[in-house]
Amino acid sequence: MTDAMSDTPTESSIDATAPAEVQEPVMAATADTVDERQREIDDLKDKHLRLAAEYDNFRRRAAKERQEAGWRAQGELVRGLLDALDDINRFANVDPSTVDAKTVVDGVALVEKKLFKSLAGHGFEVVNPTGHPFDPALHEAVTTAPAERAEEDGQVAVCFQAGYVINGLVLRPARVVVKQWTGA
């Protein structure tokens, strides 16, 4: 029986030899997995850095394009004003002894009309709300005046200074006197 037992490995001999045999492939597999995971981490870091650099370039390019678009819009606006500026220049160089007052007034009115027409083409509007209801988004109340009837309460009586709006953006509110009904 001892001979038969000596030919067959015992449990203790299996336990003693198994961990060494199993450990080697596990460690090799673990080392391969660690190397693979490290490559994945390095690839992800590289992707992250590239994406961050790409986003930074996009942000700079978008800011530059916005600035250039603003300059183009300003250029178009000024280009529309050039004719009126030329008229003002010609008008400024007229000999006052050869021009009467009516011609001066008519000339200024024509230049003003040309300026407002050019600006209107760019979304510019003049706000003169006399007789219309007071709107705090477009008007600035300087003072109030008594209203003759209750229906006039909150209407603009006088516009001291016109307001200006461009494409819905208030550049300056109209300064107005608002009628107020006191009930008397």
125-139 tens-digit pLDDT:
999 899 899 999 999
The tens digit of pLDDT for each residue in 86-97 reads: 999 988 888 888
Q: What is the pLDDT of residue 1?
A: 45
Segments making up each domain of the chain, as ranges: 2-87, 125-184
**pLDDT band with cut points at 50, 70 and 90 for residue 99:** confident
**pLDDT band with cut points at 50, 70 and 90 for residue 20:** low
pLDDT, average across residues 15-32: 61
- Residue 104: half-sphere exposure toward Cβ, Cα within 13 Å: 10
Question: By the 8 A CB rule, do 125 and 164 touch?
Answer: yes
- Give the C-alpha separation, 115 to 97, whole Å: 27
Q: What is the pLDDT of residue 93?
A: 86
Q: What is the pTM of this model?
A: 0.60
Predicted confidence (pLDDT) at residue 123 exceeds the cutoff of 80: yes
CA pseudo-torsion sign 125, 113, 178, 184: negative
CATH code, 125-184: 2.30.22.10
